[in-house]
Structure 1
Amino acid sequence: MSPLQQFTDYISQHQLFEKNDHVLLAVSGGKDSVLMTQLFKLAGFNFSIAHCNFNLRANEAQRDEAFVKLLADDMGVPFHVMHFDTKAFAVQNRISTQMAARQLRYEWFDALREQYHYQYVAVAHHQNDAIETVLLNLVRGTGISGMHGILPKRGRLIRPLLFLSRQEIDDIVASHNFSFVEDSSNQSSKYARNKIRLNVIPHLREINPRLEETFAENIHRFAETEVLVQSVVAEKRNQLFIPERGDIVIDIKELAALQPQKLLFFELLKPLNFTSSVVDEVLSSLDKQSGTSFYSNTHRLTVDRDRLVISPLVERKQELYYLHGEGSLKLGEERISLTLSENLNFKADKEVAYVDANLLIFPLIVRYRQPGDRFKPLGMKSLKKLSDFFVDEKVPVPQKDKVPLLINGNGDLLWVAGMRQDERYKVRATTKKVAIFELSNL
């Protein structure tokens, strides 16, 4: 079967795109992307070319850009190019140069796709790239998703050359005498991927001459295994993850019943960016002192007695919200409303506070906790620090910054919303009008 027939069959088999779709090709000028471009042209597909100049290889980078532009001109297709200050971006974001280049190019590809209405972005990864990715993931630590390496299609990103090995690409390019440019950095063992490509894979091929074929079969099995695992994870996530004021709460007893515990817990926490080592630490701390916290780069997980509380790491601005009379205020996913009434009937509900309206000084303020906050909890005779009140009420650390506080115009804390109002402002026998405050979810 010809390479062109294999190419079109692979696209059809994996439903990568429709024949009339307009596809943006990421072309570096190397053998892989040149072959992808030639196959798109021979197949009669509608495509444009995008080239990234990362300004990392001086004259070589300029040569590559000129080559790809000439290729696009010869094929009569639109050409996009972008120059990046990759080293500066890497320093600014404290990431490696390779990671910086990856982030920059995919963000640009997405922007081009949206601006010019391309249906997909195609990159020229092949079987050996998939092998390298699997081995890198294994070395660095991975969940089940890392075992299948790179997939033919993920969202709007497609990889139509994954049916070919590097040697097959070399042979096709040579037999058709396609022009290309060489990236000298591919021969440097400075980068982790190159170390695997140059120093590891040749030894693995000595053990198994059919290495690419074997890995392709294994990757397919791993991908199917991930589908199975993720269906179980989705079921467990619905069962274990209880939403509470923007946080996620997990019952430790239910977590302890998971089997296999570490695998499922890691997959549950992976979307929240917790690493395998942190998962180990959490599982070993379930029966230890309450209040211990663990962090990913986006979330905090706190052991809170018989449960875990997971909160996003979002710095809350200390905003002030004002109530000038009857009405309501929206606070994220909650609302505080005020109603004035001469009806002195009450219902026992922590989400509702009944205050002597004559003692209110408008405008009232709604905010979150600040150092030094104190009030006189209903039924008590003396002031109490809000921090001590939270401890007594066993409020989890992540929740303390999410409890709205109602403040009178004179600075007194009237109500710890949803928990306790102040003794000084309670309704008495002499009260003529009641201010009814209610906390509710939107």
Structure 2
Amino acid sequence: MLPLTDFKRFIQQHLLFAEDEKILLAVSGGKDSVLMAHLFKNCGYQFGIAHCNFGLRADESQRDESFVHLLAATLGVPFHVTHFKTKDYAAQQKVSTQMAARMLRYEWFEEIRRENGYTAIALAQHQDDAIETVLLNLTRGTGIAGLHGILPKRDQLVRPLLFLSRQDIDRLIISENIDFVEDSSNLTTNYARNKIRLKVIPQLKEINPNLEQTFEQNIQRFADTEMVIQQVVAGLRDELLIKHHQEIHISIAKVRSLKPQRLLLFELLRPYGFSESVTLEIFQSLDRQSGTSFYSPTHRITLDRKILILSESNTTTPQNVFIHGNEELVEVGRQKILMSYSGTPYFEKEKTKAFVDSDLLIYPLVIRSRQEGDKFVPIGMKTMKKLSDFFIDEKVPLIEKDQVPILINGNGDIIWVVGLRQDNRYKVTGQTKKVAIFELR
């Protein structure tokens, strides 16, 4: 007999969805997802079935699609299917085939959910999947969130089979004589998760036959612990993360006072995309020289003397823009540099313009960001000055230093610290015949 009462109780206990809501079921054709479809049908829930054909197993992939299509027709529910060129996508994104399949399917599930008015997407993961996820996370390294594995509900994803073990599912499939298809890739140990499933967990179950129940309790404890930590972190975030214009300033002294330091700093920075390894680098670099920067995919942290400066990653930092001499305009991020020439030597005292002796230019010129050891002769001076010292004298904010474009001559000389000062060696003189004019817009 199908465990309909337990199924409904689990859904209600974890507030997965309301009885009158329409749910999209991700069905591969395997035991887990097929059982989930039958449970939904026998409970009278409204649902549709979505199936992804990743094209990775030739005839087997087509067999799975045909089976799931027939299942949807038998149950009398809508059927949604798509085909992916998974290996091509993996190559384009430079990720593993497994990761590519994951990215493709979740994006498509969400698209189908929105277009067809489904409230949530149901995944057929069960207790053993949760155990595998925790063990896999521990093997690879994880924060506290990785210890609770997969949760019954996260955003639009729900997992209504987490009250069942793989053994429970196998027993129900046999007793209810439910048809399914077997994915041959589940039997290979080429994948890390399969190694844990086929080799590690059986050994652990010899030590603890009630492994599923034990992990279920542990996972709940980990989830509760994370909730407590997040409450603490929320209070610390208000105290430590101080908004300052477009930046967030974090007192290094207050970071040092955190206990435990690494865990709390990681949780504070996690919403900005910083990994645990990068957070550790930041923590170990608090005594380093100012100017050191650390990056996440979306943000940057720069170490100042007494503060950490958190800002969005700058997308306008110059990346070797070449000027060949015949251009009239060059785009540098969101800024533009206009170029023109004059046969009449003249100049203006204007920071947004540089008036350069054209005969001294060696093309191609390059616009780039600052580099270690950069020096130039600021106009009005006769000796070299380190660019880093010039920035200090000009009170350029630390976070903005990498954003200042530097115009470089073909011989490597700095011609113009764009928007601030040009080099004295390239100024217009009485011997200048032609002036190259650069203007920052």
* TM-score normalised by L of structure 1: 0.76
Structure 1 position 385, deviation (Å): 9.3
* Whole-angstrom distance in 2 between the partners of 1:277 and 1:82: 37
Instruction: Encode CA deviations 1:348-402: one digit per residue, 9 max, x unaligned.
Output: xxxxxxxxxxx999x99xxx9988999989xx9x999986442235645422356
Residue aligned with 1:142, SS: coil
Aligned to 1:439: none
Instruction: Encode CA deviations 1:109-148: one digit per residue, 9 max, x unaligned.
Output: 1111111111111000000000000111111111111110
* Whole-angstrom distance in 2 between the partners of 1:102 and 1:145: 20
* Whole-angstrom distance in 2 between the partners of 1:70 and 1:403: 62
Summarize the alignment of residues 29-48 of structure 1 with structure 2, pairs less than 5 Å apart. Answer: 29-48=29-48
Residue aligned with 2:308, SS: strand
Instruction: Encode CA deviations 1:83-110: one digit per residue, 9 max, x unaligned.
Output: 0011111111111111110110000011
Summarize the alignment of residues 97-116 of structure 1 with structure 2, pairs less than 5 Å apart. Answer: 97-116=97-116
Q: Does 1:318 align with 2:325?
A: no
Structure 1 position 71, deviation (Å): 0.3
Aligned to 1:224: 224
Aligned to 1:17: 17
Residue aligned with 1:51, SS: strand
Aligned to 1:241: 241
| Cα 1:302–1:74 shift into 2, 3 Å | same
CA contact (8 A) 1:25 1:37 kept: yes
CA contact (8 A) 1:145 1:226 kept: yes
Instruction: Encode CA deviations 1:169-218: one digit per residue, 9 max, x unaligned.
Output: 00011100000000000011010100100110001101100000000001
Summarize the alignment of residues 34-73 of structure 1 with structure 2, pairs less than 5 Å apart. Answer: 34-73=34-73
| Cα 1:376–1:200 shift into 2, 3 Å | same
* Whole-angstrom distance in 1 between the partners of 2:167 and 2:119: 30
* Whole-angstrom distance in 2 between the partners of 1:307 and 1:261: 16
Summarize the alignment of residues 58-97 of structure 1 with structure 2, pairs less than 5 Å apart. Answer: 58-97=58-97
Aligned to 2:401: 400
CA contact (8 A) 1:369 1:401 kept: no
| Cα 1:403–1:248 shift into 2, 3 Å | farther
CA contact (8 A) 1:375 1:386 kept: no
Letter in 1 for 2:255: L
Aligned to 1:203: 203
Instruction: Encode CA deviations 1:150-173: one digit per residue, 9 max, x unaligned.
Output: 000011110000000000000011
Residue aligned with 1:248, SS: strand
Summarize the alignment of residues 32-431 of structure 1 with structure 2, pairs less than 5 Å apart. Answer: 32-316=32-316, 318-320=333-335, 388-392=389-393, 395-400=396-401
* Whole-angstrom distance in 2 between the partners of 1:413 and 1:129: 57
| Cα 1:257–1:376 shift into 2, 3 Å | farther
* Whole-angstrom distance in 2 between the partners of 1:413 and 1:212: 64
Structure 1 position 245, deviation (Å): 3.8
| Cα 1:64–1:2 shift into 2, 3 Å | closer
* Whole-angstrom distance in 2 between the partners of 1:402 and 1:235: 33
CA contact (8 A) 1:300 1:313 kept: yes
Matched residue count: 370
Structure 1 position 403, deviation (Å): 8.3
CA contact (8 A) 1:26 1:123 kept: yes
CA contact (8 A) 1:290 1:304 kept: yes
Letter in 2 for 1:15: L
Letter in 1 for 2:36: M
CA contact (8 A) 2:294 2:302 kept: yes
Residue aligned with 1:294, SS: strand
* Whole-angstrom distance in 2 between the partners of 1:277 and 1:375: 41
Aligned to 2:323: none
CA contact (8 A) 1:258 1:264 kept: yes
| Cα 1:2–1:181 shift into 2, 3 Å | closer
* Whole-angstrom distance in 1 between the partners of 2:181 and 2:155: 30
- Give 5+ residue unaligned stretches, structure 2: 317-331, 338-347, 354-366, 406-415, 421-441
Structure 1 position 285, deviation (Å): 1.5
CA contact (8 A) 2:49 2:79 kept: yes
* Whole-angstrom distance in 2 between the partners of 1:38 and 1:171: 15
| Cα 1:387–1:289 shift into 2, 3 Å | closer
| Cα 1:261–1:173 shift into 2, 3 Å | same
Instruction: Encode CA deviations 1:217-275: one digit per residue, 9 max, x unaligned.
Output: 01111111111001111111121112234332211001101011111011112222322
Instruction: Encode CA deviations 1:21-42: one digit per residue, 9 max, x unaligned.
Output: 0100000000000000000000
The percentage of aligned residue pairs carrying the same residue is 57
Letter in 1 for 2:105: R
CA contact (8 A) 2:369 2:403 kept: no
CA contact (8 A) 1:86 1:100 kept: yes
Structure 1 position 294, deviation (Å): 2.2
| Cα 1:224–1:414 shift into 2, 3 Å | closer
The alignment's C-alpha RMSD in Å is: 3.1
| Cα 1:2–1:183 shift into 2, 3 Å | closer
* Whole-angstrom distance in 1 between the partners of 2:379 and 2:116: 62
CA contact (8 A) 1:304 1:396 kept: no
CA contact (8 A) 1:41 1:75 kept: yes
Structure 1 position 297, deviation (Å): 3.0
| Cα 1:374–1:50 shift into 2, 3 Å | farther
Residue aligned with 2:212, SS: helix
Structure 1 position 321, deviation (Å): 8.4
* Whole-angstrom distance in 2 between the partners of 1:110 and 1:102: 12
The more displaced of 231-240 and 168-177 is: 231-240
Q: Does 1:5 align with 2:20?
A: no
- Give 5+ residue unaligned stretches, structure 1: 323-358, 405-411, 417-442
